[in-house]
């Protein structure tokens, strides 16, 4: 992204234009390899994930409300659960929902359409779904995916034999998408897919790949697609430079809780991490606290004051992941005593006379960790809980 075209909202406190280029940060340290075990993968335990969904759904729904008077518990009580799971692939981009409906859910009347708790995650064409049942209206599948457990529209999934799905996902010769919103041209349409998605190669020289397709019976087939944007054979090398460069491709990209809100598609903090790491062959969980759990080099910051935290953070290598209880960020480095990060940020609080006020960002942005200092919520630095070193 050219500096001249940057949205002024990206110039957060303490950020100068030069900091909005990846080269500013990459020139400050020599590149290094990431440990192949640095970030663990999603656990492939669909039956356990389904059990967890039902064990926790009542608690998750307790404080949620919707504007249509729908009764969430009735939806969960009335669905068709299959004796055995079926396997499929997403055949178009879609959404993973907490409940099988489009109606949003909110924690309180103060929450607007930007924080729909029914929206768990976006899903991409080629994502695996393990299907355990069907909504009573026949329109939604109850699924376990790498992004979580929830409901997906039936029209977006092609069902096939488990071996067919596994072969599609495990093929060694693949094209990996490197741009935030890559286009794949098929015979009849242009499909958008996310950074980190990968597809089996059909013809490398022509940039053609195999794309999942749902036939008239709802079954899984494959068609040919041409990748129109940045891609690479197999994966990028696992290095700090690639991690940071890929993250900066999202600079200025819209923020959206669960990848979608009333304004359209975007990225939240943990999806940004997942997309970037998938380009290098990692397959981390979708949510930030699960990403923290599978990190291999964790540092607990509990009990440290601000000065001690900054001292510890200055010793980190760029690319480390920083966590609060509800947020994850990528560490870039230290400049004149301030620690800087790149992250998908919804908003922050800033002090004002006789109080404080929210500042809506809704972008992937570079900022310092002092953001929020002097407010009731505290600064990002004060809220840090753990770090995953690279």
Strands 208-214 and 198-203: antiparallel
Superfamily of domain 46-160: SH3 Domains (2.30.30.40)
Q: What single-letter DSSP state applies at residue 205?
A: G
What architecture is the 3-41+237-388 domain classified under in CATH? Alpha-Beta Complex (3.90)
3-state secondary structure of 349: strand
Give the closest residue to 97 by CA, choosing from 153, 179, 171, 57. 153
Q: What's residue 4's pLDDT?
A: 44
Report the percent of the chain where pLDDT is more than 90: 81
pLDDT tens readout for residues 197-231: 999 999 999 999 999 999 999 999 999 999 998 88
Q: What's residue 242's pLDDT?
A: 98
pLDDT tens readout for residues 135-161: 999 999 999 999 999 999 999 999 999
pLDDT tens readout for residues 150-190: 999 999 999 999 999 999 999 779 999 999 989 999 998 99
pLDDT tens readout for residues 253-272: 999 999 998 788 899 999 99
Residue 70 pLDDT level (bands cut at 50, 70, 90): low
pLDDT tens readout for residues 268-290: 999 999 999 999 999 999 999 99
Task: Please determine, for residue 85, whether its predicted confidence score (pLDDT) is greater than 90.
Answer: yes
- Give the Cα-Cα-Cα angle 153, 112, 356 (nearest 5 degrees): 145
Average pLDDT, whole number, for the chain? 92
Phi and psi (nearest 5°) for 376? -60, -35
- Of 8 and 238, the structure prediction assigns the larger pLDDT to 238
């Amino acid at each position: 992204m050219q500096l001249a075209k940057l949205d002024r909202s990206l110039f957060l406190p303490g950020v100068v234009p030069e900091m909005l280029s990846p080269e500013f940060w990459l020139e400050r340290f020599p590149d290094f390899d990431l440990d192949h075990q640095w970030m663990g993968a999603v656990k492939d335990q669909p039956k356990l994930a389904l059990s967890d969904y039902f064990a926790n759904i009542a608690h998750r729904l307790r404080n949620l409300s919707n504007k249509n008077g729908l009764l969430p518990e009735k939806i969960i009580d009335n669905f068709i659960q299959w004796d055995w799971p079926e396997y499929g692939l997403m055949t178009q981009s879609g959404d993973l929902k907490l409940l099988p409906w489009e109606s949003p859910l909110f924690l309180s009347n103060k929450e607007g359409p930007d924080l729909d708790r029914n929206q768990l995650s976006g899903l991409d064409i080629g994502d695996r779904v393990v299907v355990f049942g069907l909504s009573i209206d026949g329109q939604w599948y109850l699924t376990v995916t790498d992004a979580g457990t929830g409901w997906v529209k039936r029209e977006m999934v092609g069902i096939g034999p488990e071996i067919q799905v596994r072969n599609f996902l495990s093929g060694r010769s693949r094209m990996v998408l490197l741009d935030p919103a890559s286009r794949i041209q098929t015979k009849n349409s242009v499909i958008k897919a996310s950074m980190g998605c990968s597809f089996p190669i059909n013809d490398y020289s022509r940039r053609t790949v195999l794309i999942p397709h749902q036939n008239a019976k709802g079954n899984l087939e494959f068609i040919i697609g041409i990748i129109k944007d940045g891609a690479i054979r197999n994966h990028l090398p696992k290095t700090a430079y690639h991690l940071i460069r890929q993250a900066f491709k999202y600079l200025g990209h819209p923020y959206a809780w669960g990848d979608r809100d009333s304004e359209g598609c975007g990225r939240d903090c943990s999806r940004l991490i997942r997309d970037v790491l998938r380009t290098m062959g990692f397959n981390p969980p979708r949510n930030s606290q699960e990403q923290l759990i599978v990190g291999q080099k964790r540092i607990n910051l509990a009990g440290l004051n601000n000065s001690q935290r900054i001292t510890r953070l200055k010793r980190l290598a760029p690319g480390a992941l920083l966590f609060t209880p509800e947020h994850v960020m990528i560490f870039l480095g230290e400049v004149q005593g301030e620690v800087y990060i790149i992250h998908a940020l919804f908003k922050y609080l800033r002090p004002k006379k006789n109080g404080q006020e929210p500042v809506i960002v809704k972008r992937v942005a570079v900022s310092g960790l002092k953001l929020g200092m002097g407010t009731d919520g505290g600064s990002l630095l004060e809220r840090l809980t753990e770090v995953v070193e690279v």
